[in-house]
Amino acid sequence: MDGARRLITRSAGAAIWAVAGGLALLAAAQVLAHDAVTPLTVAAAYTVWVYLPAYLVASAAACFRRYALAGVALVAVAFHALSVTASIGAAEAIPDDAWAAPRLRVLSANVYDKNPDRDRLARELLDADADVVLLQEITPAWARTLHRNGFGVRYPYSVVEAMNGSGGQAVYSRLPLHDVEVVSVARWPTITAALDVGSTRVHLANVHVVGPLHGRPIHERSAGGILRVARSLGRPRIVAGDFNATPYNRSMQRLADLGLDDAHERRGRGLAVTWPNGDELAPPIRIDHVLVDDELTVLRVAELRGHGSDHAPVLVDLAVG
């Protein structure tokens, strides 16, 4: 019996060391190699969740005076704490004059190409009363659904690039659209346009990055193409859609380096989630973003229900000018 007990103890100890060491190595790999391979890209996307066991290991190891084990676990804890703290964001102060500035309400939604509840989601999107709506995964069936539910009446200015599968897009606007361009990024259309809000011309891009599980080469081409599109836009910019990445992925950090801030983080809501929206068992993360320049003040950001979709729509109120 004593031998069996020792074997169980040693096995448990080895497993705990494996967890702590594995997470410490993963943290080092994220720092040194970042999204160099698909497993690291996926691990980075789930940074909020992946490192939570390290806190338990570090606490238990400290209680039992296993200081070497605690030290290894604390490497992962430190990386996690620093990463998450940086991504949460502090709610920015809203200048008094922003409340008197022209407003723009932006709605971004991945509607899901196989959505079984298209009419209900279409009505939900209309109820949001946005000024401009950026939609991803627009199929011919979705285009017909939007038309049937009165999107053309509510939004007299539109660009619809429907296609079978996940790559279609649409932009609907109450305001006239200028400088409209449809750019092919990794064989999916990306719609860019501009609209005048008061005396300010605002430039926008509707984004859908191919997910990393479709293969690293196409994911990199897609993310890199979106980066080039964002860089080419005039300011102020709104770059919104399904990025298939969280703030911990390199693709999002490159966009931040261009001066584009996440609306959720501007309002101190960096831990909000948009996917899988109750459709899958995966831990919830936020891969749908509305990114804006400093010239735009984020007054409010919220997630909608997203009937039938695996993504929650993102609604943002902006002050312009």
pLDDT of residue 127: 98
- Are 275 and 127 in the same domain? yes
CA distance 147 to 168: 16
- Are 107 and 26 in the same domain? no
pLDDT of residue 265: 96
Burial 246-276 (b: 16+ CB within 10 A, else e): bbbbbbbebbeeeebbbbbbbbebbebbbbb
58-67 long-range Cβ contacts below 8 angstroms, 24+ apart: 58/20, 60/16, 61/16, 61/20
How does DSSP classify residue 197?
E
Helix (H) or strand (E) holding 298: strand 296-303
- Chain centroid offset of residue 9 CA: 42
Lowest mean pLDDT among 24-28, 31-35, 275-279: 275-279
- The pTM assigned to this predicted structure is 0.95
- Per-residue pLDDT tens digits for 48-63: 999 999 999 999 999 9
- Are 10 and 138 in the same domain? no
Q: How confident is the model at residue 89 (pLDDT cuts 50, 70, 90)?
A: confident
pLDDT of residue 10: 76
Which CATH number is 160's domain given? 3.60.10.10
Name 208's bridge partners.
Answer: 242
Structure tokens at 310: 């695996």
Structure tokens at 242: 């399904």
Domain boundary among 26, 61, 88: 88
- Cβ 45 vs Cβ 245: under 8 Å: yes
- Are 74 and 188 in the same domain? no
- Per-residue pLDDT tens digits for 253-312: 999 999 999 999 999 999 999 999 986 788 999 999 999 999 999 999 999 999 999 999
Domain boundary among 88, 112, 143: 88
- Cβ 312 vs Cβ 304: under 8 Å: yes
Q: Give mean pLDDT, residues 77-93.
A: 91
- Are 121 and 81 in the same domain? no
SS3 state of residue 13 = helix
- Are 112 and 232 in the same domain? yes
Of 278 and 318, more confident: 318
Structural domain that includes position 178 = 96-320
Domain boundary among 88, 111, 127: 88
Q: How confident is the model at residue 11 (pLDDT cuts 50, 70, 90)?
A: confident
pLDDT of residue 9: 60
Domain count, the chain: 2
- Are 212 and 76 in the same domain? no
CA distance 173 to 134: 9
- Are 247 and 157 in the same domain? yes
- Are 142 and 11 in the same domain? no
Instruction: Please identify which residue in the block is written with the tokens 């690293």.
Output: 216
- Are 148 and 276 in the same domain? yes
- Are 83 and 123 in the same domain? no
- Are 214 and 75 in the same domain? no
Q: How many CA atoms lie within 13 A of 312 on its CB side?
A: 19
CA distance 297 to 276: 28
CA distance 308 to 225: 29
